[in-house]
Each structure stands twice: as structure tokens, then as C-alpha cells.
């Protein structure tokens, strides 16, 4: 595992004349693409929702209609897609879990690897494809094999840090792929993140991300339960958070991202759980953890329970709220 420092400014300026493609301009993708622009890289971007492109276009990005057009005009392409995969058919398919992606393969009549981004149809030999979506490690390996057949290189580089870190270029990237290509990927990723960590073979970045998010989900549920119990026992929530954060119970969810409204400013719990990392996305990532745990026969009792809790939340009106709304969910559950 390598943790590399950012390349020099001169290296960036030399490469900045080469356009960088960007597919997926959602809550995470848009600020990531903006940071590429700020570092002097011409950006050629597209998104399934045209309105997502306007703000980026206004500050200098070139917006095109499809991933295939991105592939025609750029030989370094980043993708940041919450749950959408592009296929050889050119259609968009909403895939809430990688199991759906695998089922999709059987319905597409193409030789070799049937599943791939539609941009593969136009990708040039030597193109570097960096996927910052969070998907099953096995699917990343399938994508890498498909890219290799096209003469391209695919690397997985999922992120940790959320929307705030994306805006401030303080994301952590976990990168998997051919080590000889890592420096080329790292050059771009350091424009968008404070930490870029090489994790080994393709798929390893996804493995690290899935493990991180499983722990994050478990920790957030534990923090929400603890805060709720303390409040029921008559403790002031700010006081309880202060005690936790100077004691052995301290964790990221209590100290940086507290789920109780009124305890911290600048976090989703202070804004009716708007923004941040959606409950739907957390449920999706926990589903990936469950699938990989099943495939490797790894016991994850707390991870499995967390998965079920966030799935129930999605069906109870919390799908579009930040995942820290599990505190509100528990408060509502106690009243039933």
C-alpha cells in the first residue's frame, strides 16, 4: 500500500492541456469536476440529467450529450455514478446493487464481456478510465477486463469524505489497478483529494471502501443509540457528546458528524438531515458488503443488522435523508 504526495505544480501544468472527461455530475461528481477545472484541466463532462451540467458549464467545462462523446474527446476519463451503469446498448440502467448488474449481462447480446460503460464503444486505445463509484469489487474486475480488450486501462478509485470534502478537495481516494498506471491516476486524483492511497490490484479500492462504509454505518447506529439513551436518561445531548468525545467512546460519528440536531453546526443533523450521504446510498453500500461477505463466507453480524436497519429506513421515508437520520428513525420507533 502506498500513500503518495501530490505531483508538482509543473507536472500538473504540463498535463493540463490534455482534456479530462468526467461522467456523472451529482452531489459528489460536480465538486470533483470543479476542482479539476480549478487546477487547470479542461473538462469535458456529461450527465444523464442535463440540469446537473449547467453550473459546471458556466465555469468553463465543455458539456456533451453522452459518455460516448466524452470518450471520443478525452483519453483520461473519470466516472462518479451513485447507482447508474451505462451498457453496450447505449441505454441507462438503474442498478441499486451489483447483483442487478450481473443479471443485466444475460440480456445484452454482445461478445465477450457484455457489461460495460457505453463509452467503451468509442474509447481510444491507451485511455485511462478511473471509476470513483462504489460498486462490487468483482464488477470492477469485470470492467478492467473489458477495458483491457479495448486497449484501455481501468482503475477503481472510490472515495471517502462526503460532499463537504469533495468541495474542499479533501477526499480520500482508495485506488486499485495496475501499479505502473498509478502515477497517471494519482496526478488527477490529488486535484480532488487530500489522500490518495494505492491499495493493490483492481478491485482492492472498492474492497477498502466497502469495509470503511460498513464500519461507518455500524458506528453511526451505535452513536445514535447512545445519544438517544442518554437523552432518555435526562442528559443534555451537548454535554453527553462532550463526554463521549473526551472518553473511550469517541468516534467520527460522535465527534465530527453527530446525528443529534442542535449538537453541532455544519452537519446534516443541523439541517433537517439534508445533504451529506444519503440513506439509500448507505443501504446500497451495505448491500455490497453483505454480498462480498456471503461470497467469502465472512461473518458480519453487525454489518448485516446495519444493512437491514438502513433498508427499513428507506421504506419509511428516510431514503433521501442523510444516513445520520438513523437517530430520528430510532426516536420515531420508540414512540410506536
Positions annotated as catalytic residues are: 209
Torsion sign over Cα 34, 38, 41, 42: positive
Cα–Cα distance for residue pair 117/126, rounded to 1 Å: 16
| DSSP letter assigned to residue 193 | E
CB atoms within 10 A of CB 4: 16
What is the crossing angle of helices 204-232 and 279-295, to 10°? Answer: 120
Strand 84-86 relative to strand 92-94: parallel, antiparallel, unpaired?
antiparallel
Cα–Cα distance for residue pair 257/253, rounded to 1 Å: 5
Torsion sign over Cα 80, 94, 206, 283: positive
DSSP, collapsed to helix, strand or coil, labels residue 60 as coil
Sequence-ordered list of residues with C-beta below 8 angstroms from that of 278, at least 6 positions apart, any chain: 319, 320, 321, 322, 323
Closest to 128 measured CA to CA, from 119, 137, 138: 119
DSSP codes, 109-130: --SS-----GGGGTPPTT-EEE
Query: Residue 269, Cα to own-chain centre: how many angstroms?
Result: 21
14 bridge partner residues:
none
Amino acid at each position: 500500500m502506498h500513500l503518495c504526495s501530490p505531483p508538482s505544480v509543473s507536472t500538473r501544468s504540463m498535463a493540463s492541456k490534455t482534456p479530462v472527461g468526467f461522467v456523472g455530475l451529482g452531489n459528489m461528481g460536480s465538486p470533483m469536476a470543479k476542482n479539476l477545472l480549478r487546477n487547470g484541466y479542461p473538462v469535458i463532462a456529461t450527465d444523464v440529467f442535463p440540469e446537473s451540467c449547467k453550473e459546471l458549464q458556466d465555469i468553463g467545462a465543455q458539456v456533451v450529450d453522452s459518455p460516448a462523446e466524452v470518450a471520443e474527446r478525452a483519453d483520461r476519463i473519470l466516472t462518479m455514478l451513485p447507482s447508474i451503469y451505462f451498457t453496450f446498448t447505449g441505454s441507462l440502467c438503474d442498478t441499486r446493487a451489483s447483483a442487478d448488474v450481473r443479471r443485466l449481462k444475460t440480456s445484452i447480446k454482445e461478445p465477450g464481456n457484455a457489461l460495460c460503460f457505453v463509452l467503451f464503444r468509442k474509447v481510444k486505445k491507451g485511455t485511462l478510465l478511473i471509476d470513483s463509484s462504489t460498486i462490487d469489487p468483482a464488477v470492477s474486475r469485470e470492467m478492467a477486463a473489458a477495458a483491457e480488450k479495448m486497449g484501455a486501462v481501468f482503475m477503481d478509485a472510490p472515495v471517502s469524505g462526503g460532499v463537504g470534502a469533495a468541495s474542499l478537495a479533501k477526499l480520500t481516494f482508495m485506488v486499485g489497478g495496475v501499479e505502473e498506471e498509478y502515477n497517471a491516476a494519482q496526478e488527477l486524483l490529488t486535484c480532488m483529494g487530500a489522500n490518495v492511497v494505492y491499495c493493490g490490484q483492481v478491485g482492492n479500492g472498492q474492497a477498502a471502501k466497502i469495509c470503511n462504509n460498513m464500519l461507518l454505518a455500524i458506528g453511526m447506529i451505535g452513536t445514535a443509540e447512545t445519544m438517544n439513551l442518554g437523552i432518555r436518561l435526562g442528559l443534555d445531548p451537548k454535554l453527553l457528546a462532550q463526554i463521549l468525545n473526551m472518553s473511550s467512546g469517541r468516534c467520527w460519528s460522535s465527534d465530527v458528524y453527530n446525528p443529534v440536531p442542535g449538537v453541532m453546526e455544519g452537519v446534516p443533523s443541523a439541517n433537517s438531515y439534508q445533504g451529506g450521504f444519503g440513506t439509500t446510498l448507505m443501504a446500497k453500500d451495505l448491500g455490497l458488503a453483505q454480498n462480498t461477505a456471503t461470497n467469502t463466507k465472512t461473518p458480519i453480524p453487525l454489518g448485516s443488522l446495519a444493512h437491514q436497519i438502513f433498508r427499513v429506513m428507506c421504506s419509511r421515508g428516510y431514503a433521501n435523508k442523510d444516513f445520520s437520520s438513523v437517530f430520528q428513525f430510532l426516536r420515531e420507533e420508540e414512540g410506536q
